[in-house]
């Protein structure tokens, strides 16, 4: 049965916008007084409300009262939702002037989260992940990438990835799993970093394939984690097995984006330390540059050079990086609005960055635009002018969320 939703004051389809480069707001396709016609999980047509009602008289009507703007459901292409505990102490210590080393010596840092996460069973981690995902869904995020990385052993990483898979039954959002066993070399590992990576590749990767737990492998390339030389054989093995690659790159020092480009990774994420050489290399590649403004806010450091990346013709996505340490906010729309202010991004660039360009970072081509054949993932904001959404810097939230043609959240009444 077809459904027709409307009338909608403005539908921003994001159709015809390119995957790479700078965008002007004048390029946005805006359908006024529109309807969205869906059948099953997909969009049949977006067009004039009056004309669609006349053309399809037998459809099920979902009529709206008032003024609304429709956008594609947001895509958060970088999160760490599956974790235990809190790092509020770290945050307070960092704001009080303590260094990363001092915080780690006091028992904080990533290893603190690893310890707290390892103490939880799979069922508990699945519940936590679903709860986090549903909060994002309520804010208009309909597709969510979720990383492991707080297990850091074969058994514990499997627990996390199975928990993420289990969490999918507790949310209407799509969860896209990524294995981040190469987050850092665990403190309780007795061998070298290379030996740890070899164990993960030889013992974990086959199980990921056998159980279909994920199709993506991530790694943190940084002085405090793994060097380009250490990580390249690991990622090459992953690629040979058919996994897509993504890299935590250039957060504090450069090198990771070079690995991402060389290996044809789907995305290079962070990039706060990227310079002209790295920006140019990313722009000339098919690797999506993913800005994580939540980490910049959480750590009090520079933002990803988003304006320079776009002006060099890179593809820029924006993600929340929701994690318990550096990016606890987890509010994609607020972070994107803040990044826009500091990096002077057009509304079109921001909307592309949290929809179809973010989907491209995940290798997904069936969502992020409101056009025929795409998934019927869309969100309604209570305004007559799309510019109000970023203007209110995340305070305006969607009042309806539609996922695969179903209304999964409504606060209109």
Query: Do 151 and 257 share a structural domain?
Result: yes
Final residue in a domain of this structure, among 361, 376, 401: 361
CB 364, CB 143: distance < 8 Å: yes
Statement to judge: residues 160 and 197 lie in one domain: yes
CATH number at residue 393: 2.30.40.10
Q: Let me know whether 189 and 143 are in one domain.
A: yes
What domain count does the chain have? Answer: 2
What's the rounded Cα separation, in Å, for the pair 323 and 113?
10
Kindly state whether residues 124 and 252 are assigned to the same domain. Answer: yes
| pLDDT at residue 184, as a whole number | 95
Contact 214, 208 (CB under 8 A): yes
Asked whether the predicted pLDDT for residue 202 surpasses 80, the reply is: yes
Q: What is the mean pLDDT of residues 57-77?
A: 97
Q: Residues with Cβ < 8 Å from 258, sequence gap 6 or more?
A: 228, 278, 281
pLDDT above 70: residue 53: yes
pLDDT of residue 99: 85
Same domain, 321 and 381: no
User: In this structure, are 63 and 146 located in the same domain?
Assistant: no
Q: Rounded distance, CA 173 to CA 144, Å?
A: 7
114 shares a domain with 47 = no
**Tens of pLDDT, residues 315-330:** 999 999 999 999 999 9
CATH number at residue 120: 3.20.20.140
Residue 328: per-residue pLDDT:
97
190 CB-side CA count, 13 A: 0
pTM beyond 0.95: yes
Residue 377 shares a structural domain with residue 346: no
Across the range 240-259, mean pLDDT stands at: 98
Rounded to an integer, the average pLDDT of 139-146 is 98
Question: Do 6 and 94 fall into the same domain?
Answer: no
Q: What is the C-alpha separation between 57 and 111, in angstroms, rounded?
A: 60
Q: Over range 90-112, report the average pLDDT.
A: 90
Asked whether residue 18 falls in the same domain as residue 105, the answer is no
On whether both 213 and 334 belong to a single domain, the answer is yes
Q: Looking at residue 376, what is its pLDDT? A: 98
239-244: average pLDDT: 98
Q: Check if the beta carbon of residue 304 is closer than 8 Å to that of residue 289.
A: yes
Q: % helix / strand / coil in the chain, to the nearest 5?
A: 40, 25, 40
Rounded Cα distance between 59 and 39, Å, is 10
Q: How many CA atoms lie within 13 A of 158 on its CB side?
A: 15
Task: Provide the domain limits for residue 59.
Answer: 2-72+368-410
Same-domain check for residues 262 and 148 = yes
């Amino acid at each position: 049965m077809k459904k027709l939703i409307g009338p909608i004051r403005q539908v921003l389809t994001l159709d015809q916008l390119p995957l790479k480069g700078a965008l002007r707001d004048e390029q946005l396709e805006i359908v006024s007084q529109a309807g969205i016609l869906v059948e099953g999980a997909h969009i049949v047509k977006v067009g004039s409300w009056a004309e669609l009602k006349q053309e399809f008289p037998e459809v099920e009507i979902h009529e709206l009262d008032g003024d609304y703007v429709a956008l594609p459901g947001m895509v958060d292409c970088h999160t760490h939702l599956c974790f235990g505990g809190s790092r509020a102490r770290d945050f307070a210590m960092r704001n009080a002037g303590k260094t990363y080393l001092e915080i780690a010596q006091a028992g904080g840092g990533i290893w603190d989260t690893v310890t707290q996460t390892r103490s939880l069973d799979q069922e508990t981690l699945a519940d936590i992940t679903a709860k986090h995902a549903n909060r994002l869904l309520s804010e208009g995020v309909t597709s969510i990438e979720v990383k492991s990385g707080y297990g850091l052993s074969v058994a514990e990483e499997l627990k996390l990835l199975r928990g993420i898979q289990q969490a999918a039954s507790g949310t209407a959002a799509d969860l896209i799993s990524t294995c981040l066993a190469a987050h850092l070399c665990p403190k309780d590992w007795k061998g070298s970093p290379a030996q740890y990576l070899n164990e993960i590749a030889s013992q974990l990767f086959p199980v990921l394939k056998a159980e279909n737990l994920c199709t993506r492998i991530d790694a943190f390339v940084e002085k405090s984690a793994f060097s380009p030389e250490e990580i390249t054989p690991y990622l090459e093995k992953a690629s040979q097995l058919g996994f897509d690659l993504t890299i935590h790159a250039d957060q504090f020092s450069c090198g990771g984006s070079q690995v991402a480009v060389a290996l044809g990774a789907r995305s290079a994420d962070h990039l706060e330390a990227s310079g002209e050489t790295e920006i140019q290399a990313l722009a000339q590649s098919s690797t999506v540059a993913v800005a994580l403004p939540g980490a910049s806010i959480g750590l009090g450091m520079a933002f990803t050079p988003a304006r320079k990346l776009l002006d060099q013709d890179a593809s820029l996505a924006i993600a929340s990086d929701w994690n318990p340490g550096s990016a606890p906010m987890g509010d994609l729309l607020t972070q994107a609005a803040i990044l826009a202010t500091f990096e002077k991004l057009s509304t079109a660039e921001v909307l592309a960055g949290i929809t179809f360009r973010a989907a491209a970072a995940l290798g997904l081509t069936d969502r992020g635009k409101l056009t025929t054949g795409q998934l019927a993932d869309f969100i309604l904001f209570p305004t007559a002018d799309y510019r109000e959404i970023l203007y209110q810097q995340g305070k305006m939230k969607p009042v309806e969320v539609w996922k695969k043609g179903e209304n999964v959240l409504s606060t209109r009444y």
